[in-house]
Structure 1
Amino acid sequence: MVTSEIDLPADYADLLEELKTRISSARIHAQRTVNTLVIQLYWSLGRDIIVRQESQGWGSGVIRRLAVDLATAFPDMKGLSYRSLQYMTAMVRAWGEDENVPQAVAHLPWGHIRMILDKAANAEERDWYAAAAVQYGWSRNVLLNMMMNRSMERTGTAPSNFTRHLAAADSELAQQMAKDPYNFEFLGLSGEVAERDLENALTSRITETLQELGPGFSFVGRQVHFDVDGDDYYVDLLFFHIEQLRYVVIELKTGKFQPEYAGKLNFYVALVDDMLRRDYHNETVGILICGTKNDRSVRYSLGRSTSPMAVAAYTYDKLPAAEQQALPNEGHLVAALEWAEPDTE
């Protein structure tokens, strides 16, 4: 469509951008509202079926007939298959049989809920992944990746001295940044690697690296240079955590943890805190990521450090055979993604 040239009002461009933003915001709000209404509907269907299963002994035959009759009554509506009805009852049983759907669940897409129901081992995992998916806006694929990589089990588990150097609430937030171990399998490395090669691999796959570090991390740079009265120093990896408003210094060591590593990281954290941190930033923290560690040695070292730091291990080799067998194969992954799609039955 070609429009003729006309003289536009001086504020036209600003108004156009404002209207575009308003329309986009309204569309997103409408989509979220519709999704919440759908989940509330599914919750009520699941509750009604459970009540009759318990009071009248409804079996699979009755529920299959119900699915057929509902599909006949609403031929243009997806998500009323027998399989979907089973997921609805599973959702209600998993998160309690109250009249109202829990807030975190209500804001999740149906495909996310089914994936959590299928992959989570217990109530704690279901609640953690549901809340995280809502808070950080994880896509279906990101959610699956987080669950497959056992993010909940690893988040906040690295030994640290955060409680010693940070206020209670701030310490808890900082601790959630420190996983143990970090899973660098996405790098495709094997055997022994040099520290610079590991650094190169992490920065060349920065999207996956940021995803593994966790929500809120923003990449600042690698080998970040600091001049201290003519002495040159280089920080391996520097990040800024947007949600916590703090710099995060990451030092990489491919071997076993040594106490002197903590001293070096302590110096770099103090350096970044002094030269880059602004008044409105929270305190800089450091994370040392090494090949292996002795937790007792780590705690002795952190106890003498004057900066808030954590020490974690990393792995990039494939899991042992026994653990690999516990994970779903390619067919299971494909099935999981298919289940996450709107039901067409």
Structure 2
Amino acid sequence: MGLEPLGTDFSALVQALSATHQQLQAQAARSVDTALVLRNWLFGWHLVEFENASARRQEVYGKNLVDKLSAALSSQGIKGVSPTNLRLCRSFYESFQKIQQTPSVESSATAPQPPDLNALKAQLGLGWSHYVVLLSVSNVQARSFYEVEAQQASWGVRELKRQIASGLFERLALSRSKNEVMALAQVGQVLAKPADVIKNPYVLEFLDLPEHPTYSEHQLELAIIDKLEHFLLELGKGFLFEARQKRFTFDDNHFYVDLVFYNRLLRCYVVIDLKIGQLTHQDLGQMQMYVNYFDRHVKTADEAPTVGILLCYDKNDALVELTLPQNSNIYAAQYQLYLPSKEELRQKIQEAEKAWEAAQ
């Protein structure tokens, strides 16, 4: 009797095995990366414990400890133990000393023991490349924020670098109180109220538009649609795109909202109007009409009130404050087409800190 011909069932089998291989291969790669993170943290722990154990060791080895250690480990065939990498491991441990030691039941003279691997793994949830990038952030609060956000939002290394370069922590901090900034560092960005989605400013360098507004609002809108994935990342958590040039009719007049989003965390519509020139009170009044229309004719009873954002190249805070009622769900936020410098963000943070102190 001859063999049955292999048909579509065989193809399905091949696909199933291929998918299984790819899934487990990816899992194996993640396991290797996790092991590398744990190893490097523990390398740092051992280095610091050794150096701190006695002044005698510092006298004997001094600055040559890392070089000697690198040579000894390399002779055993261990990879990734160059002097530069070992110093990086030490910095990694010193910057992420988050693992609480369990009090020893033995004598206080007993040598310190490294943390439990399971406890260590639970608190170091990113890949090694992520932590190398995080080590470039000197501000402890900012570094903690980026670590939390990278884990919660599953940022890749490229996304993490971009958010750090754009000063996401500093931009969020500028629209928050001192206590809220501390919360940012501990738990990341939490959307509890409409104001939590606002950044100051929004950085749109990925649009590749000229820095000076020689483009039209239509061109700005098209550039955003073309780079919608990047724009959603810049908007932040929970945003879903719904429409552009959303039309509604009132009194036989047609009106068009530039961009309409929905935030699933706040459970509300977010309407965005783009302005390339000086913001005027007419612009604010028009946005108020957009928000009112969505609240009365689009949102359902169980959804939160609509949020309106005027994304403008230049704005006058005094005009915004005078025009809009208190507790308004409308916000005017600036955008810029280049990554902010560290000095620029530092100056803005210092101004915010002075405002916090004055308010106390």
TM-score, structure 1 as length reference: 0.74
Match of 2:139 among 103, 106, 122: 122
- The question of whether the paired residues in 1 share the 8 Å contact of 2:44 and 2:93 is answered with yes
Give runs of aligned pairs for residues 137-152 of structure 1, distance below 5 A. 137-152=154-169
Which amino acid counterpart does residue 316 of structure 1 have in structure 2? Answer: L
Match of 1:67 in 2: 70
Residues 104 and 84 (structure 1), Cα distance of their counterparts in 2 relative to 1, 3 Å cut: farther
1: CA distance, partners of 2:271 / 2:311: 11
| 2:221 partner SS | helix
Q: CA deviation at 1:210?
A: 2.4
Residue type at the aligned position of 1:135: Q
Distance 1:126 1:274, change over 3 A: same
Q: Secondary structure at the match of 2:286?
A: helix
Query: Structure 1 pair 301/21, CA: closer, same or farther in 2 (3 Å)?
Result: farther
Bigger mean CA deviation after superposition, 183-192 or 136-145 = 183-192
Structure 1 range deviating more: 276-285 or 103-112? 276-285
Residue number in structure 2 paired with 1:109:
127
Bigger CA radius of gyration: 2
TM-score, structure 2 normalization: 0.71
- Cα shift at 1:127: 0.3
Counterpart CA distance in 2 for 1:69 and 1:254 is: 62
Counterpart contact for 1:95–1:102, Cα < 8 Å? no
Q: Which moved more, 1:227-236 or 1:271-280?
A: 271-280
Q: How far did 1:179 drift?
A: 0.9
Q: Which amino acid aligns with 2:131?
A: I
Structure 1 window deviating more from structure 2 (128-137 vs 225-234): it is: 225-234
Between 1:232-241 and 1:272-281, the stretch displaced more is 272-281
Residue 188 (str. 1) matches residue 191 (str. 2): no
5 Å-filtered alignment, 1:1-345, equals: 4-6=5-7, 31-55=29-53, 56-57=57-58, 58-75=61-78, 77=79, 79-96=80-97, 98=99, 99=115, 106-118=124-136, 120-155=137-172, 157-158=174-175, 172-186=192-206, 187-193=208-214, 194-228=216-250, 230-278=252-300, 281-304=303-326, 308-316=329-337
Instruction: Output the aligned Cα RMSD.
Output: 3.6
> Hey, what's the Cα distance between the residues in 2 that align with 1:259 and 1:170?
31
Number of residue-to-residue matches in the alignment: 306
How far residue 109 of structure 1 moved from its aligned partner, in angstroms, is 0.9
Question: Secondary structure at 1:142's aligned position in 2?
Answer: helix
* CA deviation vs aligned residue, 1:261-320 (integer Å, no higher than 9, x gap): 2222222123233444345644431211112222233233333575x2222111226768
Identity %: 26
Cα distance in structure 1, aligned partners of 2:300 and 2:22: 34
Q: Structure 2: which 5+ residue stretches go unaligned?
A: 100-114, 177-188, 346-360
| Uncovered stretches (5+) of structure 1, i.e. residues with no partner | 160-168, 325-345
Check 1:305–1:270 CA distance in 2 against 1; reply closer, same or farther (3 A cut).
Answer: farther
- Alpha-carbon distance change, 293 to 229 in structure 1, aligned in 2, over 3 angstroms: closer
How far off is 1:19 after superposition?
9.0
User: 1 CA distance for matches of 2:324 and 2:36?
Assistant: 50
Secondary structure of the residue that 2:199 maps to in structure 1? Answer: coil
